[in-house]
Structure 1
Amino acid sequence: MPSSGFFSNKLRAVRAPKRERRKEARPGELLDAALDLFVEKGFAATRSEEVAARAGVSKGTLFLYFPSKEELFKAVISENLSGRFAQWNAQFEAFEGSTPDMLRYCMRIWWESVGSTKVSGITKLMLSEGRNFPELAEFYQQEFVLPAHELLRRILRRGVERGEFAPIDIDLAIYTVLAPMVFLMLTQHSACFGAKGNEAPDPEKYLALQIETLLNGLCAQPPAAGRALP
């Protein structure tokens, strides 16, 4: 009969991977808890011990992975926003359809992966608190805002170069695309919407209308019959 030591060793071998998986999972659990609390309470009002408690770990464990609340917030941005650009840029390179279809696809994917999720609350947080935390605002700009602008520039430039979009000031036109997207994110996290008679717009219908309105202004069109060219 095997000795009790055999069973003890075997039990340790079975349990070890579970402990290792738990250790590996902790950063992700902490980032999820931090995102929840930052969106619910804002950056200033969220305490590190609250994040640790929601993740089910000690405050000391939190600081093993993220030495400050600021570093934790930066990690939340990197994990949920800036980390997506490699995939989004690869999709841009691989897209074979028209640029209007690319823009439709871009805005739809943005809504599904960011706008309709709790991650969209980060935009509201930065708009409300960024001035008080300039280092975090700069990080958000460098890691998310500027890459988003550059991707939109590439899309709009593609449309102009292919003759699908009229010649436009691309640096200004990116805000024409961004404005309805930012508005829609804010409606998800604002007390101004929700009362009877002032409900937030249906996201899918709203985006569909905004996209087609935008494209009707961007697409190169032949002059209407009888209308003089400028």
Structure 2
Amino acid sequence: MSDLNTPHKRERRKEARPGELLEAALDLFVEKGFAATRSEEVAIRAGVSKGTLFLYFPSKEELFKAVVRENLVRHQTEGAEEIARFEGSAGELLEFLMLEWWRRYGATKASGISKLIMSEANNFPDLARFFQEEVITPGHAMVRAVLQRGIDRQEFRPVNLDLAVHSVITPLLFLIMWKHSMGPCCPQTEQIDPEAFISQHAQLLVRGLSPTESP
């Protein structure tokens, strides 16, 4: 018997379907990879028909792009706004940026997208190009802006910013790869505390970037 106290239940579910589809797609992309995930599986996991899936996302590629925009691009946009409002030192801002990146992305299942891109980029160059343009390039620009802010305020010494950006980001990517590969297989005594690791790395970076006194 239908519940007469919950009218328009079907209509409300239809409105929620894009979010349900993105959640189901994220789960499957992280579990199986892009190539092995079939659109039919996403629809089944979301509890809708394949036709409904294609109503919102006309191809698996467009579905993947929507997943990336929801789980990465949105957070980067928020991060850029927070950087602009940050009132502390450049060193504090750098540590804040790195920790928030982990909390909002690295610590979530969505971080498996980065592992997917690393493993499948050669087979799907269009998706790799999309990821480069919408995630990597803006992310690098964000880190670069924080470093430049420190240099402009004479809190950091002048350095090659292109290389410095990689010095900031590479250990974060290591954490993601560890999380989605060896991490679950290692004993508790060999686990890495991500936030402690990030804080120490940020402090080492800030110390290395600090202006040195003249002899």
Q: Say whether the fold is shared (TM-score over 0.5).
A: yes
Deviations along 1:66-107, one digit per CA (max 9) or x if unpaired, are 111111001101111112232111111111110000001101
The structure with higher relative contact order (CA 8 Å, sep 6+) is: 2
2:67 to 76, 79, 83: 76
What 5-or-longer segments of structure 2 have no aligned partner? Answer: none
Q: Which residue identity is paired with 1:104?
A: E
1:190 equivalent in alignment to 2:181: yes
- Determine if contact 2:75/2:104 at 8 Å carries over to the other structure: no
Partner of 1:38: 29
What's the offset of the Cα at 1:198?
A: 8.0
Superposed structure 1 runs of 4+ greater than 6 Å apart: none
Counterpart for residue 156 of structure 1: 147
1:65 maps to 56
Question: Counterpart in 2 of 1:130?
Answer: 121
Rg (Cα) greater in structure = 1
Q: Summarize deviations over 1:108-150 as a string: whole Å, max 9, x none.
A: 1111100100111011000000110001001101110000000
Cα separation, 2, equivalents of 1:222 and 1:127: 41
Structure 1 portions without partners, runs of 5+: 1-10, 224-228
Query: Relative to structure 2, which stretch is displaced further, 118-127 or 210-219?
Result: 210-219
Whether the 8 Å CA contact 1:121–1:185 is kept in 2: the answer is yes
Name the SS for the 1:15 alignment partner.
coil
Corresponding residue SS for 1:201: coil
1:141 to 132, 136, 140: 132
| 1:2-31 residue CA offsets vs partner (Å, 9 max, x unmatched) | xxxxxxxxx59x512x32221111000000
| RMSD, aligned CA | 1.7
For 2:156, the equivalent position in structure 1 comes to: 165
SS in 2 for 1:119: helix
Find 1:53's aligned residue among 40, 44, 48: 44
- The whole-number CA distance in structure 2 between the counterparts of 1:141 and 1:115 is 18
2:97 is paired with a residue whose SS is helix
Q: How many residues align?
A: 212
| Contact persistence 1:104–1:211 (CA under 8 A) | yes
- The letter for the 2-side match of 1:189 is H
Q: TM-score of the superposition, structure 1-length normalised? A: 0.87
Aligned-pair distance for 1:201?
1.2
Residue 216 of structure 1, aligned match among 183, 207, 212: 207
| 8 Å CA contact 2:30, 2:116 repeated in 1 | yes
